[in-house]
Amino acid sequence: MNYITSVILGLVQGVAEFLPISSSGHLSLMQNLMGMASVAKTDIFFEVLLHFGTLIAVFIVYFRDIVDMVKDFFSVLTNLFSGQRQEQIRPTANSRMVLMLIVATLPLILILPIKDSVESLYGNTVFVGCALLVTGFFLFFSDRIQRGKKTSRTATMLDAAIVGLGQAIAVVPGLSRSGTTISLGMMRGFDRKFAVRFSFLLSIPAVLGANILEVGDAVRAGIDLKLIPIYLVGMLVSAIFGFFAIKLVNLLAQKGKFGKFAYYCWTIGLIAIVWSLIKG
């Protein structure tokens, strides 16, 4: 691990985490193509910090939304436990958003029993390539769906659960988490801006949960303190590029050009498959 490798992987993580092109798939391909297949296994702490960098980007972009949601949610809970009649408590859009995020996060529990099996797919570039092709189809059809109008006030908990199920399935490398959740949101009639916002806010509990699980593995694997400065550079790069990637996705989704990424995913997926077959 050196600074160049750290910057490259940080850039890939920051951009691919939010652009609908699969960060896990790109990191897998980069590690294999550049002969860094062991990075994810030996530098678990670095992987945790890369994801933490993208988490910082989400907090910066949606800081005011996050603060308002937390305040409104606890305000509703306070009124509920203060003895106020339930029919008098009207959930705000922000408090409903919190409930939707909780519901959408629950399907991730289904992945825990097969976590090791999912992680074993990172070295299978043919599988990653095929998953990128599937991501491309999700994106291609998302732009061809009639624009929805649902927001946090009108979307249902079933809508949230379906988007959350998509997020759980998208833990496999090559399937884009943002691409899958945003596309499913649009299919459920979400307003395009709301679909993007919901997807990125949904990444907060997902990334936090994954990082908590991996911190223990990182400690057991050992952390080379000499590499900490290199790790932090990668995290910073991940946060910076993640910030601009979020802004770009919001812009493209509003203009109805979200599906343009489909062609990129198809191209990279086909290259990965052909490269793997030629090499193997």
Q: Which of 239, 178, 241 is nearest to 21 (CA)?
A: 178
Three-state secondary structure call for residue 150: strand
What would the mean pLDDT of 115-143 be, rounded to a whole number? 88
Task: Please determine, for residue 40, whether its predicted confidence score (pLDDT) is greater than 50.
Answer: no
Q: How far is Cα of residue 85 from the mean position of the Cα atoms in its chain?
A: 38
C-alpha angle with apex 69: 87 to 89, nearest 5 degrees? Answer: 10
Give per-residue pLDDT as tens, 176-209: 999 999 999 999 999 999 999 999 999 999 888 8
Domain hosting 18: range is 3-279
Bridge partners for 150 per DSSP = 190
- Report residue 56's pLDDT band, with 50, 70 and 90 as the boundaries: very high
Give per-residue pLDDT as tens, 69-96: 888 878 877 776 666 555 555 677 888 8
d(C-alpha 193, C-alpha 251), whole Å: 9
**Which segments of 43-145 does DSSP mark as H helices, in order?**
44-61, 63-81, 93-105, 115-119, 125-142
Question: Which residues have a Cβ under 8 Å from the Cβ of 10 and sit 6 or more positions away?
Answer: 50, 53, 233, 234, 235, 236, 237, 238, 241
Per the structure, the count of domains in the chain is 1
d(C-alpha 223, C-alpha 220), whole Å: 8
